[in-house]
């Protein structure tokens, strides 16, 4: 099925550990995004990539890094995980004309203990 | 600062009981307003895009409308399968990047009882 694939679906980290969340889309979209979703906070943009080879910060970038590996893949890295990064992370993609909105992945539920 | 406020936070309806969800927004230069549906444990699923005041779009039991300050998602004769969280988002510019982003509201959790 066409869409956005995220791995892993669940992860538990200890404080200070690092990990990379993977995201791939097969819709030939130019733009890709990483959001986090927390209870009572809604979806907040972490980083985005308007096109292959470019990345920019969103609202809450501290503690994260990203890599747009190619047009299909956009990864999110936590270098030293903190309990405040416990959240559900969503990757999304969109074509240049966003009339049909973003297509979201199914999310990664991350717990940092 | 771009803001999106959704109300109510939660809504319980009986099957067949019509109602409306509200999304009010403040954004400089609205390019589009989006409605999404999110089921537990899943990512948001696109429903509608609205661009200008007076515009309406329908899909099954859902109808979205837009004014200059707010949008409504009307649910007519809802069924239990309509139970989900409904998210509203506005398309706003990211000034430093020259691109645009979606700014989301916190959502309305709808429960439809049989």
The 10s digit of each residue's pLDDT in A20-77 is 999 999 999 999 999 999 988 889 999 999 888 899 999 899 999 999 989 999 999 9
> From CA A56, how far away is CA B51, in angstroms rounded?
26
CB pairs under 8 A between A and B: 63
> So what's the pLDDT on residue B29?
75
Q: Can you tell me the distance from the alpha carbon of A23 to that of A38, in angstroms, rounded to the nearest whole number?
A: 19
Closest-CA distance of chain A to residue B96, Å: 9
Would you call A24 an interface residue with chain B, using a CB distance cutoff of 8 Å?
no
Token pair recorded at residue A24: 């791939």
Residues in chain B, overall count: 114
Residue A93, sorted as left (phi over 0), alpha (psi -120 to 50) or beta, turns out to be: beta
Q: What is the pLDDT of residues B38-66, one digit of tens each?
A: 999 999 999 999 999 999 999 999 999 99
- Please state the rounded mean pLDDT for residues B69-78: 96
Q: What are the DSSP calls for A28-88, one per residue?
A: --SEEEEEEEETTTEEEEEEEESSTT--EE-S--TTEEEEE-SSSBEEEEESS--GGG-EE
In angstroms, how far apart are the furthest CA atoms of chain A?
40
Q: Does A102 touch chain B (CB under 8 A)?
A: yes
Do the chains contact at A101 and B34, CB–CB below 8 Å? Answer: yes
The answer, yes or no, to whether the previous bond of A46 is cis (omega within 30 of 0) is no
Beta bridge partner(s), residue B7: B22
**pLDDT for the residue A2:** 72
């Amino acid at each position: 099925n066409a869409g956005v694939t995220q791995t892993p679906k669940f992860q538990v980290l200890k404080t200070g550990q690092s990990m990379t969340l993977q995201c791939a889309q097969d819709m030939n979209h130019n733009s890709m995004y990483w959001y986090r979703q927390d209870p009572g906070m809604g979806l907040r943009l972490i980083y985005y990539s308007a096109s292959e080879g470019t990345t920019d910060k969103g609202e809450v970038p501290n503690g994260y890094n990203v890599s747009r590996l190619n047009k299909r893949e956009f990864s999110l890295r936590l270098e030293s995980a903190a309990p405040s990064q416990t959240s559900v992370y969503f990757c999304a993609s969109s074509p240049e004309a966003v009339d049909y909105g973003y297509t979201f992945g199914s999310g990664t539920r991350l717990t940092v203990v | 600062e771009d803001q999106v406020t959704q109300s109510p936070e939660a809504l319980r309806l009986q099957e067949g009981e019509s109602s409306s969800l509200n999304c009010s927004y403040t954004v400089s230069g609205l390019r589009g307003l989006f409605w999404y549906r999110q089921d537990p444990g899943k990512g948001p699923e696109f429903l509608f895009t609205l661009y200008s005041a007076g515009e309406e779009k329908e899909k099954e039991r859902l109808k979205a409308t837009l004014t200059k300050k707010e949008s409504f998602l009307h649910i007519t004769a809802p069924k239990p399968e309509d139970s989900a969280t409904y998210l509203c988002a506005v398309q706003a510019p990211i000034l430093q990047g020259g691109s645009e982003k979606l700014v989301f509201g916190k959502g309305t959790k709808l429960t439809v009882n049989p």
